[in-house]
Amino acid sequence: MQPLQIKSSFSSLLLQSSSVSACAILPNGTVVQASTLLLQYTGFTSLQGLHLSKFIITADWAVITEHIYNCEQGGVQQGIFFCQTAQGKSKTQVEFIFDDSSGHIICLFKPMASIAIADFNTRIGAVAKQMAFPVVLTNAALEIEWCNEAFEKFYEITLEEILYQHIFKVWGSGITVQKRERLKQAVQHKKQVDISFDFTTHKNLTHNLLISLVPYADTAKGIEGFYIRQVDQTKHKQNQQILEESLERLNLILGTAKMGVWDIQLKTDTITFDATTKKLFGHTGDSFTTTIAEWQRLILPEDYEQIQRQIQEAVTTTGEFHAIFRVRINNEIHYLEGHATIVKNSAGLAKTILGICWDITDTVLSKEKIELQNQLLQSVQEAVQVFDKNGNLVYQNKFAEDLYGYNLQQANVPFLMLHESKYTIDEVADIQNCLQTLQPWSGEREVITSQGNLFPAFIGCSPLTDEVQGYKGFVAVSFDVSMQKNAQESLVKSLHRLSNTVENLPVGAVLIHNGKFEVNNYVEQITGFSRNEIQTVEQWFVAAYRENASSVKALYMGDREKGFPASRIVPLTRKNGDTRWVQFSGFLDADVEIWVLQDVTEQKVAELQITSQNERLKQIAHLQSHEVRRPLSNIMGLLHLFDENLLDLSEPQNRQLLLKSGIELDEVITKIVYKTRNL
């Protein structure tokens, strides 16, 4: 480079320029004057009087001293140093130029980022700057010298931030040790290499990147390095995965549906069938035919003529083929259904027939069974309707047509004939959702006839399914419940009157119907429990009979099964613990049950007292007739012997016998007196 001589006037203009980062220094490195742009670049408000070491960071100041000395001897000196800038430490090129008119050294500061951009434009061209994909240029050590805007945008950094940093620092831990070694080997041997790895951005988004590292060299300038192009293949990977999953689902669907795939090459008259198709034609492995002529022999002749005609029409006009035909497998006839599309070449000529086929033997053979089922449905004395999965009526028996007034030819038949003004779309959707999840549904709904008449109907729906398609629709069985409804309303009114009657009875009464347990005021008085405390049969037995609940309930169930043939008197325990005797009488009619409860405690007590008195009288009679007789007979016998002078009462033993009999007689009389006291 030729020495640059700067005149005093030009030096002054240079330092005053707003587009040049420069300063004038003394030979000892002290700043005399600095341009505005240099102040902005370094972040200082003033550099005058400062030493260069304040903003040029170097471990060897002798290098700068040597540049200053050589500059004074004539010529331009330059070097690359780290400078303290407003944005932090930055690599900067510094040129030292001697001004002989002032004796000052002019220092020109050029950020390496701008130098790299200019140098890159001369080496690679400005076109790379506009590339949509990220591009980075490194030196031979993989240190970044330049990158385009796409690279900065993807990594959310600027060239100045990463200038002369190693590319691995930008990629971080996303690139594995093995792939780093591959890159190092390529750098060492100056060979092109492609690698891919996952990179996670600051926004926590993971991208799959394909990196192409290409060596370049400019021998004239002594420059060599690497051109690195980056392609984000995340979407490609995702699309590839979606395609693979779609193919897997398609194969799964076809396999599940037992559908075979086949194609015919019209130019060579060759045919290719998959394993399912081979099985449909009764063959396995490689034993299947590969020519149309051989395939023809597997189809019944009368059906093949029709297939041949339909294929010709598809090739020349329609572009599609559909047929039902028969094949013979192990001396059995099977029905197959096929559908195909014609594929044409760029000239518009038919090239290939792509199709699928499946076995419909069961469907065809079940036709008679379906007809028999239709006859059976027509004989049912209830409305039977069949709806498809979209809720459209596809079948109904004569009873349904008469009940609702619709026939299959009439369009816009309401779903389940529900009255649209009374049921919302959501309510109808709830019924459909229930059926679509293969759950039966039933309920009473108000429906409408074709004439607009409303009536209540009970509707029961069952989903229709098959192994291949899953949910196909549902069967609905319905009947008019208006008469039952009227009867039910009458029953409700009757029950209401009966409930009032039970409430006003002058004795305890209980009404049981539809799971309800109603007691009147007298039952509350008898038991001491409020009606809120006894609301079920079970609560009644537990509350009224406590530890005896099971045995008393067993008696009740036995009497109920016999229709309550007689009343029972059973003691119950009041809420306060007192015992009351209650006479229970039951009446049963259909699903209505009535109990009549009468408190007979006083009568029961009197009855028990009479029973007790009778028992005492029996005991008294026994004493009088048996126990009195024995001592009395002894006394009378001793007296008789005394009268006959056969007994000497002066004898002690004779007197003792008479005394003992008297004592026994007295004891018996005492017992009789005691038992008569409580009569």
Tell me: pLDDT of 48 over 50. Answer: yes
Phi and psi based region of residue 192 (left: phi greater than 0; alpha: psi -120 to 50; beta: remaining): beta
User: pLDDT band for position 587 (50/70/90)?
Assistant: confident
Location of structure tokens 């699928």: 356
Check whether 222 has a pLDDT greater than 60: no
Angle between helices 537-545 and 549-561 (to 10 degrees): 130
pLDDT at position 37 over 70: yes
Q: Which of 19-33, 320-334, 398-412, 486-500 has the lowest mean pLDDT?
A: 486-500
What's the pTM value of the predicted model, to 2 decimals?
0.30
**What per-residue confidence (pLDDT) applies to 553?**
92
The tens digit of pLDDT for each residue in 58-103 reads: 657 888 888 888 888 877 888 878 787 877 677 788 888 888 778 8
| Distance, CA of 411 to CA of 149 (rounded, Å) | 64
Banded model confidence at residue 550, pLDDT cuts 50, 70, 90: very high
pLDDT value at position 529?
92
Which DSSP helix (H) or strand (E) runs through 186? helix 177-189
What lies within 8 Å, CB to CB, of 217 at 6+ separation is 223, 224, 225
Structure tokens at 606: 């009197």
- As given in the structure block, the two tokens for residue 624 are 């009088």
Q: Is 82 in contact with 58 (CB distance < 8 Å)?
A: yes
DSSP label at residue 183 = H
- What is the percent of the chain with per-residue pLDDT over 70, rounded to a whole number? 78
- Judged by DSSP in three states, 100 sits in coil
pLDDT per residue as tens digits for the range 110-164 = 876 555 555 555 555 455 555 678 888 888 888 888 888 888 888 888 887 888 7
Q: Is the pLDDT of residue 213 over 80?
A: yes
- Crossing angle between the packed helical segments 652-677 and 601-622, to the nearest 10 degrees: 170
Residue 433 pLDDT level (bands cut at 50, 70, 90): confident
Report helix, strand or coil for 8.
helix
Instruction: List the single range of 137-151, 156-170, 309-323, 398-412 with lowest mean pLDDT.
Output: 398-412
- What span, in angstroms and rounded, lies between the C-alpha atoms of 344 and 91? 64
pLDDT > 90: percent of the chain: 6
The residue with tokens 């742009």 is 37
